Amino acid sequence: MEKRDIRTFLKPGAKAHLMGIGGVSMEPLAEVLHGAGIRVTGSDMRQSEATDQLQALGIPVAIGHAAENVAGAELVIRTAAVHDDNPEIVAARAAGIPVFERSQAWGAIMRDYKNALCVAGTHGKTTTTSMCTHIALAQGADPTVMIGGSLPILSQDRPKGYRVGKGDTIILESCEYCNSFLSFYPTVAVILNIEEDHLDFFKDLQDIQNSFRKFAELALPRGSVVVNGDDPNTCAVAAGLDAFTFGLEPGAECTAANLTWEKGLPRFDIVVHGEVLTHVALQVPGLHNVKNALAAAAAAVCLGWSGEAVKEGLEAFCGAGRRFEKQGVCNGADVYDDYAHHPGEIKALLSAVKPLGYQRVVCAFQPHTYSRTKALFDEFAEVLRLADVAVLTDIYAARETDDLGVSSKQLAQAVPGALYFPTLDELEQGLRALAKPGDLILLVGAGDIYAVGKRLGRCAGSDGPERGPNW
């Protein structure tokens, strides 16, 4: 990571080249920098709606990476997917052009906002950041937002998870991988939970906790730290800090009271320091979403936002893209897609759908990365047993190569009654044959398994994807 201060380069009139400019967090970054008077250029491996949108704003985008793309740039900003041997990186360094990570750029931008709300944690970041966005919009804060997934309220023209606002608030989903969130400058730092993950970068749980501790300290003393009082790992990280706690266990400063369920959906009072802030009726299922809502409410309280905005925002939230998102109906079975790719997330998902009244829950899972599958093999096998039928397809490699001796077939063999289909085409055919009325079919994983869900949702006997609440 470049050691120089990126703020010295981000001045009006400066020329910044963004690599991977069509990415989920790079597209909004390009728009923000462009709006600040910086001359932005970019490159991406493929043309997309995102690159078309940027070009329509007057931002030149080259398709493909080539050394000449960085000519004249005063700085280069890249995504984590761009490696040092990329021709644009090689050319930039040969020309003495500084190369920064996108997290450094977002961190620099964050300093210009009065309120910088950063949501971190092993699970629930996208959902909670989305809930915070709904509350901020209800409050009239006109926020700038960056979420790691699409959000319907931001997606009037096409699916996207960002907006560029004119208010004094910025809201960012904040990832711990490669310590990215340590480049941020939060005024409200939210920690939802902490578990072992990304063990291809972190040494162990203690290493992860050390990173989250540094993240929390970034908000102090000028801001607030919001933590899950029900999670021991998070509480250990927050020890000695003046943190604002949320949770369902006794002692949490922001908690739920009078919790009831209607058609599988939670209704409850949000209680802050013993006083009822508001009553909410969520449109998303699961106890984990009650906790996500409490986290969002706690962050709103730290920012001085009203109980009315908390209620309006949370009740308007119907789910983020790829978070229990309905794709359609196949042979009478409801088909949903979910991004869960960690055992804790899969457990929360399967626990959330249990009260919804389906005869069978079929969980089709595509493990994400060899390192995560190997490190958490036993945990994956345990949670997949919660489904009535577990179905496995081959591991999505992402940034890795298959050299750890672990496979989805081995995972299927560790789950009684599980089915294994090596390819997505075989998985699709297997699920078509399996699907019947009364079933809930879940396509689960952070890779490309979602494509199967989209096709199943359009299969014979389908009424197609439905709009509205994702339940």
pLDDT (tens digit, 9 = 90+) per residue, 335-360?
A: 999 999 999 999 999 998 998 889 99
Rounded CA gap, 91 and 96, in Å? 9
Residue 416: pLDDT band with limits 50, 70, 90: very high
Question: Which residues make Cβ contacts (< 8 Å) with residue 277, sequence separation at least 6?
Answer: 254, 269, 270, 271, 297, 301, 307, 310
Judge: domain 113-316, CATH 3.40.1710.10. Answer: no
Superfamily of the domain at 6-105: NAD(P)-binding Rossmann-like Domain (3.40.50.720)
What tokens were used for 417?
Answer: 């009654």
- The answer to whether 74 and 9 have CB atoms below 8 angstroms apart is yes
Domain positions in the chain are 6-105, 113-316, 325-456
Residue 236: pLDDT band with limits 50, 70, 90: very high
Predicted pLDDT at 264: 86
Residue 93 has pLDDT above 50, yes or no: yes
Residue 467: pLDDT band with limits 50, 70, 90: very low
Nearest to 133 by CA among 117, 122, 120: 117
Residue 75: pLDDT band with limits 50, 70, 90: very high
Question: Which residues make Cβ contacts (< 8 Å) with residue 208, sequence separation at least 6?
Answer: 176, 194, 196, 197, 198, 202
Scored b (16 or more CB within 10 A) or e, 140-176 reads ebebbbbbbbbbbbbeeeeebbbbbbebebbbbbbbb
- The answer to whether 349 and 364 have CB atoms below 8 angstroms apart is no
Rounded CA gap, 56 and 124, in Å? 34
**Residue 12: exposure state from Cβ atoms within 10 A (0-12, 13-18, ≥19):** exposed
CATH number of 325-456: 3.90.190.20
Residue 334 has pLDDT above 80, yes or no: yes
Residue 442 has pLDDT above 90, yes or no: yes
Rounded CA gap, 53 and 31, in Å? 10
What tokens were used for 202?
Answer: 């972190």
**What average pLDDT does the segment 27-52 reach?**
93
Angle between helices 287-302 and 125-139 (to 10 degrees): 50
Residue 145: pLDDT band with limits 50, 70, 90: very high
- Greatest mean pLDDT among 6-10, 164-168, 196-200, 253-257 lies in 253-257
What is the 3-class SS of 217-238, one letter each residue? HHCCCCCEEEEECCCHHHHHHH
Predicted pLDDT at 468: 35
Indicate whether this model's pTM tops 0.75.
Answer: yes
Pairing state between β 75-78 and 15-19: parallel
Q: Looking at the chain, how many residues does it have?
A: 471
Residue 459: pLDDT band with limits 50, 70, 90: low
Amino acid at 63: I
What tokens were used for 61?
Answer: 């985008």
Rounded CA gap, 26 and 252, in Å? 37
Is the peptide bond prior to 465 cis by the omega test (within 30 degrees of 0)? no
Question: Among 118-122, 159-163, 281-285, 309-313, which is the least confidently predicted range?
Answer: 159-163
Predicted pLDDT at 177: 86
Q: Dihedrals φ, ψ of 368, to 5°? A: -115, 110
Mean pLDDT over the full length of the chain: 93
What tokens were used for 153?
Answer: 């309220």
Nearest to 218 by CA among 272, 253, 176: 176
